[in-house]
Chain A
Amino acid sequence: MSEQQPTSKFMQNGVVKWIEHRMPIFSFIDHSVGSGYPAPKNLNYWWNFGSLAGLALIIMIVSGIVLVMHYTPHTTLAFNSVERIMRDVNGGWLIRYLHMNGASFFFIAVYIHIFRGLYFGSYKYPRELLWIIGVLILLAMMATAFMGYVLPWGQMSYWGATVITNLFSAIPVVGESLVTLLWGGFVVDNPTLNRFFSLHYLLPFVILGLVIMHIWALHTFGSNNPTGVDVKGPQDTIPFHPYFTIKDLYGMGVFMLIFLFFVFFAPNYFGEADNYIPADSLATPPHIVPEWYFLPSYAILRAFTNEFILYWPVSWLMTAKLAGVIAMFGSIILLALIPWLDTSKVRSARYRPVYKWFFWIFVLDWIVLGMVGAHPAEGIWVVLGQVATTYYFAHLLLILPILGVLERPLATPESISASVTQPAE
Chain B
Amino acid sequence: MSDTASTPPSAEIDEQTRRDFLLVSTATVGAVGTALSLWPFVNSLNPAADTLALATTEVNLAPIAEGQSITVVWQGKPVFIRHRTKAEIEQAKADDAAALPDPAKDADRVIKPDWLVMVGVCTHLGCIPLGQKEGEPKGDFGGWFCPCHGSHYDTSGRIRKGPAPLNLPVPTYEFQSDTQVKIG
- On A, residues with C-beta under 8 Å from B are 159, 162-163, 165-167, 169, 180-187, 189, 191, 195, 281-284, 286-288, 302, 305, 319-321, 377-378
Contact = CB atoms under 8 A, between A and B. Distances in A.
Contacts of A319: 165
A378 B42 CA distance: 40
A240 B71 CA distance: 65
A186 B148 contact: no
Contact of A180 (B47, B73, B126): B47
B120 to A, nearest CB: 9
Interface of B: 42, 45-48, 51, 71, 73, 75-78, 124-128, 147-150, 163, 165
Nearest to A282: B78
Contacts of A184: 45-48, 51
A311 to B, nearest CB: 11
A282 B73 contact: yes
B165 A180 contact: no
A185 B73 CA distance: 14
A131 B42 CA distance: 31
Nearest to A320: B163
Nearest to B74: A186
Contact of B147 (A163, A186, A284): A284
B148 A288 contact: yes
Find the residue from A165, A182, A283, A321 having the highest chain B CB count within 10 A.
A321
14 contacts: A181-B42, A181-B46, A183-B47, A184-B47, A185-B75, A187-B75, A187-B77, A191-B47, A191-B48, A281-B78, A282-B71, A284-B128, A302-B149, A321-B124
Given A163-B126, A282-B128, A284-B148, A187 B46 contact: no
B82 to A, nearest CB: 16
B126 to A, nearest CB: 4
B51 A163 contact: no
The 4 A-B residue pairs with the shortest CB-CB distance in the complex, in nearest-first order = A187-B76, A186-B75, A166-B126, A284-B127
Contact of A163 (B71, B75, B78, B148): B148
A281 B148 CA distance: 15
Contacts of A169: 126
Contacts of A167: 125
Nearest to B121: A187
A317 to B, nearest CB: 14
A188 to B, nearest CB: 8
Contacts of B165: 319-321
A22 to B, nearest CB: 17
Nearest to A286: B147
B158 to A, nearest CB: 16
Contacts of A320: 163, 165
A163 B76 contact: no
A146 to B, nearest CB: 14
A166 B121 CA distance: 11
Given A184-B51, A185-B51, A191-B48, A378 B128 contact: no
Contacts of B47: 180, 183-186, 191
A331 B179 CA distance: 52
Contacts of A287: 147
Contacts of A191: 45, 47-48, 51
Contacts of B76: 185-187, 189, 281
Contacts of B42: 181
Nearest to B124: A321
Given A184-B48, A186-B75, A377 B149 contact: yes
Contacts of A282: 71, 73, 78, 128
A377 B77 contact: no
Contacts of B73: 281-282
A141 B179 CA distance: 52
Contacts of B48: 184, 191
A181 B42 CA distance: 8
A166 B147 CA distance: 16
A12 B163 CA distance: 70
B58 to A, nearest CB: 17
Contacts of A183: 47
A292 B64 CA distance: 44
Nearest to A187: B76
Contacts of B51: 184-186, 189, 191
A327 to B, nearest CB: 14
Contacts of A163: 125-127, 148
A93 B150 CA distance: 37
A159 B150 CA distance: 16
Contacts of B126: 162-163, 165-166, 169
A168 to B, nearest CB: 11
